[in-house]
Chains A and B, each alone.
Chain A
Amino acid sequence: MTVNVAFKILYKEYYVRVFGLCRRLLNSAPLAEDATQETFMRAYRNFDRYDSSQPFWQWIASIANNHCVDVLRRRSRVTRLFGEEQQETELLESKDKHITTLIADVEDSDALTSAIDQLPDKYRVPIVLAYFNDRTYEQIAEDLSISRNHVGVLLLRAKQQLRTSLADEGMREFRP
């Protein structure tokens, strides 16, 4: 079987997952379509470097991660896409510290999904990498070129934001 044929099979097999990953990282379907194509192109070009003892998903997902983070960085107007660790840690301490509404209180998973979509890039990307792509803190730190602790802070901030926005959503619903 030639590389071409093998690759076409892999493409069909993994397109949906790669697209899903890109869509969540980029938060846009059209951008995700481009990113998915680019991911497969990069994979095709470097196919000889793929170590077949590893799961293909891990390999292609890391290509997608890198590409999407690049896209976000390029799009972002701030120099540090993921903020300063110090600043984020301070935010952690000051704000919404004791939100009573937990995510668990919200029954509606659509609300959670849209809340995730509305997260700013710097919080959404770590969430997707950690909980959709199952990357460890070390891997995420490497993907985003930030410190490991920074990853933990961003994830917690993301959760806090989710709680806040779900709480607001809940309040709005209860209002007539």
Chain B
Amino acid sequence: MNHLTDLQCSMYVDEALEHADVEAITRHLESCSDCQTRINEFAEEKRLIRVALTVEDSVVVPGVMPEFKKPLGLREFAIANVVTGLLVWLAQFVWKALFGELVITAFSWFSVPVPDVYGLVVDTALLYFQEGTTMIDTYLGFIAIVLFITTLTWLAFFHRRSRITLSVGLLIVCCGSLLTPSPATALELKRSKTTVSISENETIDDTLIIAAETVVVDGNVNGDLVAFGRRIVVNGSVKGNLLTFGESVTVRGQIGGSSIGGAQTIELRNAVVTGDFWGAGESVSIGPEVRIGRNATVGTERAIIDGDIGRDLVAFAETIDVSGSIDEDVEAFSKRVNLLGAANIRGNLRFRSGDEEKLHRSSTAIVGGEIEFLTMPTKYKAENRYLTGGFYLRQLFRLVSAFVFGIALLWLVPTLRGVTIEGGTGGLKTAGIGLVALISLPTIMVLLAITLIGLPISVLGIFAWIGIIYAAKIVLASLIGQLLLAESTYADNLYITLLAGLLTVIVAVNIPAIGGVISFLLTIVGIGLIIQSILEYTLNLDINRG
């Protein structure tokens, strides 16, 4: 064998050669002192490099070890945003509640009698429509700015390259939301404190929304028309749907879609409604020359039906006067029905009253089908709820919503996944804490609510309390799921354990007779678990700080 190359020496010393090469070299070294010397030199060199590398440790480390910054993950970012959102909301609430309406209305409440409901609704709606857009704009703008700043801060302090794409994306979204104009492209908004009128030769191609004291539409609207006001008069034609809310609504025009109205008095005169008509108010009247293409549904004290209805009439009213023609059935939930001279019902009349005296029928009134009197059952028969499909559907809905909520909750607050419950007195303690919290929290909140300043906090507190009650069983279900599947391969799977736990809980709380008690116990234990883990978390923080 030739003398060793430098590379062979180096790799031999580093023990990085193949087994066969090592053997060959070892054999060569036994007979070659030159190479042996070189190997020794390489070994010494390696030793010195090692020493040189380890020598300086204490020297180069900066004097103060920086505090470990936990990475701000998506989860923390989400929490930060939720908290910011809540704070913004609270700030606005306090501002508006304390310095705006609350102080003034608090005094006026006691002296002013309960105002007329429609008036109140109209006033509120008018206020929101006059101020609402700017209010919402400011609010959205504010949130966008907060998001923008949070993102910037995040970028500045916490960004690490792997998240830079996400950050930039968020930034762009925030900037975008700041810069985009309000969605008013296919929408025309008209607001006024007095009167908004669309004159006869005017045509609006978009959906039109009007809020004003008095709304008069003589022209044509090719989209939908939504009108809020004290007095609303629609004389022109509306190609889409008509939505009206006011004190008095009068419709004389042609409505291409359906008409939905809520007002003290709703009056249809010479109007044609191609679709359905829905009307709610103190009095609803469908005049003689009115034609409704499909069903009419009215809820009122006094319904006057003089026009034509293409299909059914469903009326909830004190009194119903019918003198028009109804092409199909009439369903009357009413104290009194008057079929006047010109009335013509082609289908059946079902009158939900046992008292035949309450139906006044003129001799010329026609009822093509049968007249049925249906007594309202004095008491709904106790049904077996387990036999109805709705019950299972409800439980499924409950399961799905609890599951979604639970996943979100356990993702945001992973501490809750680690809750444990002790047997014996420990478990009792948890339940005790839960019971105390269940009772004391609302009490404190009610006490807080009595003082004006405490009101926003108490509202928040009540929300938190409701949230905790809802979350309690979910957290407990997650624990139950973990216990159930502890031995299986799914023990660490958040989704499967939560689902298993939720299924168990939902079955348990629906057990006849004792389900309610179980539900109550589960709730207080769950609340106890949440409170305990919150306490533990705060204690941990203190320990870490100390």
Interfacial residues, chain A to chain B (CB-CB below 8 A)? 2, 4-5, 7-8, 11-12, 15-17, 19-20, 23-24, 29, 33, 37-38, 40-41, 44-45, 92, 97, 102-104, 109, 112-113, 116, 127-128, 130-132, 136-137, 148, 151-153, 155-156, 159-160, 162
Contact of B544 among A5, A92, A160 (CB under 8 A): A5
**Is the pair B66, A37 in contact by a Cβ cutoff of 8 Å?**
yes
Across the interface, do A24 and B61 meet the contact criterion of CB distance under 8 Å?
no
- On whether the beta carbons of B66 and A116 are closer than 8 Å, the reply is no
Which residues 20-69 in B have Cβ within 8 Å of A in the complex?
A: 41-42, 44-46, 48-58, 60-62, 65-66, 68-69
Which 9 pairs, one residue from A and one from B, show the smallest C-beta to C-beta distance? A112-B52, A137-B16, A132-B53, A41-B71, A156-B10, A104-B44, A103-B45, A113-B52, A11-B68
Contact B51 A159 (CB under 8 A): no
State whether A33 touches B66 (Cβ < 8 A): yes
Asked if B55 and A23 make an inter-chain contact with CB atoms under 8 angstroms apart, the answer reads no
CB distance from B419 to the nearest CB of A (A): 13
Q: Is the CB of B49 within 8 A of A112?
A: yes
B543 / chain A contacts, CB cutoff of 8 Å: 5
Q: How far is the CA of A37 from the CA of B159 in the complex (A)?
A: 12
CA distance A15 to B53 in the complex (A): 17
B73 A132 Cβ-Cβ under 8 A: no
Give chain B's interface residues, CB within 8 Å of chain A: 6-7, 10-11, 14, 16, 41-42, 44-46, 48-58, 60-62, 65-66, 68-71, 73, 160, 418, 540, 543-544
Minimum CB–CB distance from B415 to chain A (whole Å) comes to 8
Interface contact B55-A113, CB-CB below 8 Å:
yes
In Å, the complex CA distance between A7 and B543 comes to: 14
Contact B6–A20 (Cβ < 8 Å): no
User: What are 26 sample pairs from A and B whose C-beta atoms fall under 8 A apart?
Assistant: A4-B544, A5-B540, A7-B68, A8-B68, A12-B65, A19-B60, A19-B61, A20-B56, A20-B61, A37-B68, A40-B68, A45-B73, A92-B7, A97-B6, A102-B44, A103-B44, A104-B41, A104-B44, A104-B48, A109-B55, A112-B48, A116-B52, A132-B50, A155-B10, A155-B14, A159-B42
Main secondary structure, interface of A, reads helix
Residues of B contacting A128 with CB < 8 Å?
Answer: 53
Contact B160 A109 (CB under 8 A): no
In Å, the complex CA distance between A20 and B57 comes to 6
Residues of B within 8 A of A41 (CB): 69-71, 160
Contact check, A16 vs B57: say whether CB atoms are below 8 A apart. Answer: yes
* CB-CB under 8 A for A130 and B14, given A8-B544, A104-B45: yes
Q: Which of B16, B45, B56, B544 contacts A152 (CB 8 A)?
A: B16
A109 / chain B contacts, CB cutoff of 8 Å = 48, 51-52, 55
Partner of B60, one of A20, A37, A127: A20
> Contact: B160 with A38, CB < 8 Å?
yes
In the complex, what distance in Å separates the CA atom of A2 from the CA atom of B70? 14
Determine whether the beta carbon of A137 is less than 8 Å from that of B57. no
In the complex, which residue of chain B has the Cβ closest to the Cβ of A11?
Answer: B68
A21 CA / B211 CA spacing, docked (Å): 70
What residues on A are CB-neighbors of B57 within 8 Å? 16-17, 20
CB-nearest residue of chain B relative to A19? B61
